[in-house]
Structure 1
Amino acid sequence: MFELWSQAHLIWRTLEIKNLVDILIVALVIYELLRLVRGTRAVQMAVGLGLVAALYQLSTWFGLTTVQWVLRNAVVYLGFAVIVLFQHEIRTALTHLGNNIRIPFTNKKRQANPFGQEWYDEVVLAATTLSSEKTGALMVFERDVGLKQYIESGIRLDAKVNYDLLVTIFNTHTPLHDGAVIISDNRVAAACCFLPLTQNPLISRELGTRHRSAIGITEDSDAFAIIVSEETGVISFAIQGRLKRNQDGPGLRRLIQKAMEPWQSEAESAEMEEEERERERDIDEIVTLGRDLSRSSRTEKIREGTSA
């Protein structure tokens, strides 16, 4: 035990700060890679590559010359194969890396000139209306990462965000209802846009093309999306490749504001949530009062009929 402690103490004394930094960087890189590939098909591919590496090591130990020669020559093309097989994961990793490194002038637009909140209500009202009518919809909201290539795939509009426009676009009798609406710089940039589908094999099979497209675009960029199911009318909110389902109007508005205004302090957010809860309580009280009055009115009518 003393010898083990002495060796550990010796290693610690000879360890320099640059070595600690080196170890920390490698650990962070491995952690980020594992976090990115978790829940994707890259896990199975990585297992396959690991089996190939293990087979090569076994061929070396047991002197399997032919197997060793084949695997050694295959390694030359392995780098290209990894790029092809993991192109989606590599693109996603680089996008997330760019999102985490904040360069002041790249997101100056959102910090110096925050979006007004008027269009939040327009979007929420449109989503809840489409939900009540069970009309399918997909709205994507650009943030720091540009969506120009997807905007160009649709029909340019460059119109102000408002309830009437959004409901009209997704009306099944209009030619623009297929595809996604992309909102950029507080404007409806384009409609009928094509989006990438998610490659995540863990996504539920009950989710349709709209939901898969929403998850796909939020995996490839920092955008967020609002989806209205055509079959059930359920409103969903997608961000960072994750789906938050069964949203109502107030909850959807909070999610939009949180996504568009990340600079907002926690105190302000808590205050707004408390105000929202108070409004909801007031509405519940009004509804309860209305029910009580209606029940009292029915009781009086029954008594009058009985006495008559």
Structure 2
Amino acid sequence: MNLIELFHLDRLTWSSAIDILIVSILIYHVLLLIRGTRAVQMALGVGFLVLFYYVTLWFNLETVQWIMTTILPYFVVGIIVLFAAEIRRALANIGKNPLLRKFSPNPVMGAYDEIVLAATALSTQRVGALIVIEREMGLKNYMESGVAVDAALSYDLLVSIFSPGAPLHDGAVIVQKDRITAAACFLPLTLNPSLSKKLGTRHRAAIGVTEESDAVVVVVSEETGIISTVVGGDIQRNLDGPSLRQHLASIFAVADSAPAAPASQLSPVAEGK
């Protein structure tokens, strides 16, 4: 059955309807996957080349057809290389098991307050920080680029790691459940050309790792002390202690019926730390 016959409703069968539905869902998820990334421009380029190829068929341009069919195998390899990050993220999303996600314990249910306390203190002191919280997708390849820590997540340890002059302050800390697994880790920088020029390397690294994984990143700017969170390549800036706590709770779907702690309780300075 060709494409024209599909639009004759009297010939539409259950299998054809299911076929159309599956293709529509695939196209929708592909568009969601590449939305807001550099892959959008590359996808438009691929679409233009496909359209150009059909134009050559229409006008019977044999030489151009021969050139395009000759380079087609190399072109497919080039697409795989260019879309490597998007393909990797798509395969990782396919591999997610919603049943395991539903019954697995929240990685930071009892620990994200320590991150809020540390981020608030570092923000007050204008000390830069980059804290990556692992969710379902493993971050082992980034952990291996840093120094293994494997210690309980705590405010004191986070502040000590990011203190200026500390051996591990330069790089990212990776948090796995309620433990700090590695520090001084290197992260991939985003290549998104639409980002503001005001965002430095630390923020671009935070966006980059969330473009390739489902991690949640808390960033503290060294220049301004602004606290930000990054999820799925989207950055949310100008957070304080209570709003950071509320934002992390909403991300991890924490059943937090208690009201957010006041700023005096979230600030380590107020507690004498």
Q: TM-score range by the shorter chain?
A: 0.7 to 0.9
Which residue of structure 2 lines up, in the alignment, with residue 38 of structure 1? 35
Check if 1:176 corresponds to 2:168: yes
Report the alpha carbon displacement of residue 47 of structure 1 after superposing the two structures with TM: 2.0
Match of 2:183 among 181, 186, 191: 191
**In the superposition, relative to structure 1, how do residues 61 and 282 fare at CA in structure 2: closer, same or farther (>3 Å)?**
closer
Unaligned runs of 5+ in 1: 1-9, 284-308
Q: Do the aligned residues in 2 keep the contact of 1:139 with 1:181 (CA within 8 Å)?
A: yes
| Cα distance per residue 1:260-281 (max 9 Å; x no partner) | 3x3x5xxx55x44xx33xx659
Q: Percent identity?
A: 47
1:24 aligns with 2:17: no
Q: 1:209 aligns with which of 170, 182, 201?
A: 201
Contact 2:146 2:185 in 1 (8 A): yes
Matches within 5 A, 1:74-153: 74-99=71-96, 101-104=97-100, 108-110=103-105, 115-117=108-110, 119-153=111-145
Aligned partner (choices 66, 69, 73) of residue 69 of structure 1: 66
Task: Tell me the CA shift for residue 115 of structure 1.
Answer: 4.7
Q: How far apart are the structure 2 equivalents of 1:168 and 1:225?
A: 19
Structure 1 residues 15 and 65 mapped into 2: Cα distance closer, same or farther (>3 Å)? closer
Question: Does structure 2 conserve the Cα–Cα contact (< 8 Å) formed by 1:95 and 1:220?
Answer: no
What is the TM-score with the length of structure 1 in the denominator?
0.77
Q: 1:13 Cα deviation (Å)?
A: 4.5
Please list the CA deviations of residues 225-281 of structure 1 after superposition, one character each: whole Å capped at 9, or x if unmatched: 100001110000111111111111011111222233x3x5xxx55x44xx33xx659
TM-score when normalising by structure 2: 0.86
Task: Tell me what 1:255 maps to.
Answer: 247
Secondary structure of 1:140's counterpart equals strand
Residues 210 and 232, structure 2, Cα contact 8 Å, conserved in 1:
yes
Shift of 1:26: 0.4
RMSD of equivalent CA atoms: 2.5
Q: Which runs of 5+ in 2 are unaligned?
A: 1-6, 266-273
Matched, 1:240 2:232: yes
My pick for the range that moved more, 47-56 or 65-74, is 47-56
User: CA 1:50 to 1:14, structure 2 compared with 1: closer, same or farther past 3 Å?
Assistant: closer
| AA at the equivalent of 1:32 | H
Paired position in structure 1 for 2:156: 164
Tell me which protein shows more helix as a share of its residues: 1
Q: Partners of 1:282 and 1:133 in 2: how far apart? A: 16
Matches of 2:263 and 2:220, distance apart in 1? 27
Deviation at 1:198, TM superposition (A): 1.7
When residues 19 and 59 of structure 1 are mapped into structure 2, their CA distance, relative to the original with a 3 A threshold, is: closer
Cα 1:78–1:208 change in 2 (3 A) is same
Q: Per the alignment, in what secondary structure is the counterpart of residue 246 of structure 1?
A: strand
